[in-house]
Amino acid sequence: MKRAAALFASVLLSATAWAQVPVPAAKQTKPTVLVGATLHVGNGQVIEQAAVAFDNGKITYAGPATSFKGTAHETVNVAGKHIYPGLILPNSQLGLTEIESVRATLDQREVGNFNPHVRSVVAYNTDSDITPTLRSNGVLLAQVTPVGGMVSGSSSVVQLDAWNWEDALVKADGGIHLRWPSMLVAGDNSPAAQQRKQARDNALNELETLLGDASVYLKQSRDRENLKLNSLGGLFDGSKRLFLHADYGKEIVEGVRFAKKAGVKNIVIVGGGDALVVADFLKENNIPVIYSGVHALPARAGDDVYLPYKMPGLLQQAGILFCLDYDASLHGTRNLPFIAGTAAAFGLTKEQALSSVSLNAAKILGVEDKVGSVEVGKDATLLVSEGDLLDMRTNKVGLAFIQGRKLNLTDKQQYLYEKFNGKYEQGK
């Protein structure tokens, strides 16, 4: 009994020490090489018996171990394991929302219907208890996205191991989020329906005016800066993306045509429930999709019950660039790799499924030059798993690096496991 009590105490003390969010990792100080694992590059390529070397936070080699000629590297033997690029979570309120029932922990929306100048990243909380649970499953980057209103504000891409939001930034204010108003049921002429139609028309007119004013404002010399109009500037020169949140096919088409008429260059559909229905239109206009509904019920009673599972594979066949997000719940976003795993079971190959949460996401978010695949010159943001990262049975991330910095992968879930495991060990 004394031995069991001592074991329980040691486990509890250890778990308590890690109950808080781990301290961000120190900067890489010496070159490192991972040797012997199967490398899943992220672009569809798989290399057996690979080596991945990185120095000063950048990948310097990624290929067969037999061809690696580096010297003075710290060698890490990962034989029999798998190396993957860090996964990317798009369209997330990570760091903006903590506990839904506690108002003081919610900072994901602003008052008003048109807030293009709102920068969500300045409210990003690097000490969120949720963040470590994502890292231990392989999610190492996220798009911090505002909600609320018709124009919610700008999103930024962050890496998930930082002291503050400035340190976390990978790409600042890369896109403006527009939530397209729902269309009304045809033939409904009730007073309530007429009021909703009028409100929708007013909102679209106001949006058209806002985009028109911004286009004119940016072409003129000016003594004072208008933050709201200035924030829209990147939409007209292509340096920012318009993330158009829409699901219904007609709404997708209407929203894209509206944006193009206003002069918007780069458009991304978020949600995309009917993306397959308008696939030809999306392909013709070179518009990618952040698909949100893999683990959802079909939208229509007559749909194939497995259609949401099959949708990524069907989008792949249609030639549409897409990535996957997880919109069921913020606390469930750590399951992003398993969403991709579902898609792999219903039409995608394993490597295509991996790309849907890595390189494809990087391309859609405009950060493919830095992350998304394990290639020379990119950030050393990668991980090592004992087995298939997309399978919840074998996803066991033992090592993870962000910009070459080795992460502490302890999280609150692990703390709770150790706490209660110690409790039952005590009774043996």
The CATH classification of domain 19-85+372-409, taken from the options 3.30.1180.20, 1.10.150.120, 2.30.40.10, 2.60.120.10: 2.30.40.10
Residue-averaged pLDDT of the chain: 91
Q: What is the dihedral of CA 363, 330, 232, 183, to 10 degrees?
A: 100
pLDDT, tens only, 89-108: 999 999 999 888 888 888 88
Residue 12 has pLDDT above 70, yes or no: no
Residue 11 has pLDDT above 60, yes or no: no
Q: Mean pLDDT, to the nearest integer, of 24-52?
A: 96
Q: Mean pLDDT, to the nearest integer, of 165-176?
A: 96
Residue 9 has pLDDT above 90, yes or no: no
Q: Model's pTM, two decimal places?
A: 0.92
The pLDDT, as a whole number, for residue 105 is 85
Residues 6+ away with beta carbon under 8 Å from 395: 137, 138, 337, 338, 385, 387, 388, 389
- Lowest average pLDDT, out of 13-17, 35-39, 204-208, 333-337, goes to 13-17
Q: Mean pLDDT, to the nearest integer, of 377-391?
A: 97
The residue to which tokens 């949140």 are assigned: 245
How long, in residues, is the chain? 428
Q: Which residues of the chain does CATH 2.30.40.10 include?
A: 19-85+372-409
> Within 10 A of 309 (CB to CB), how many other CB atoms are there?
20
Residue 7 has pLDDT above 60, yes or no: no
Three-class SS string for 255-283? HHHHHHHCCCCEEEEEECCCCCCCHHHHH
Distance from C-alpha of 42 to C-alpha of 240, rounded to nearest angstrom: 25
pLDDT, tens only, 256-304: 999 999 999 999 999 999 999 999 999 999 999 999 989 999 988 889 9
Compare 423 and 262 and report the one with higher pLDDT. 262
Give the confidence band of 418 by pLDDT, cuts at 50, 70, 90. Answer: confident
**pLDDT cut 90: percent of the chain above it:** 76
The pLDDT, as a whole number, for residue 19 is 55
Residues 6+ away with beta carbon under 8 Å from 304: 298, 310
Architecture of domain 87-371: Alpha-Beta Barrel (3.20)
Give the confidence band of 17 by pLDDT, cuts at 50, 70, 90. Answer: very low
Q: Which residues of the chain does CATH 3.20.20.140 include?
A: 87-371
The pLDDT, as a whole number, for residue 14 is 45
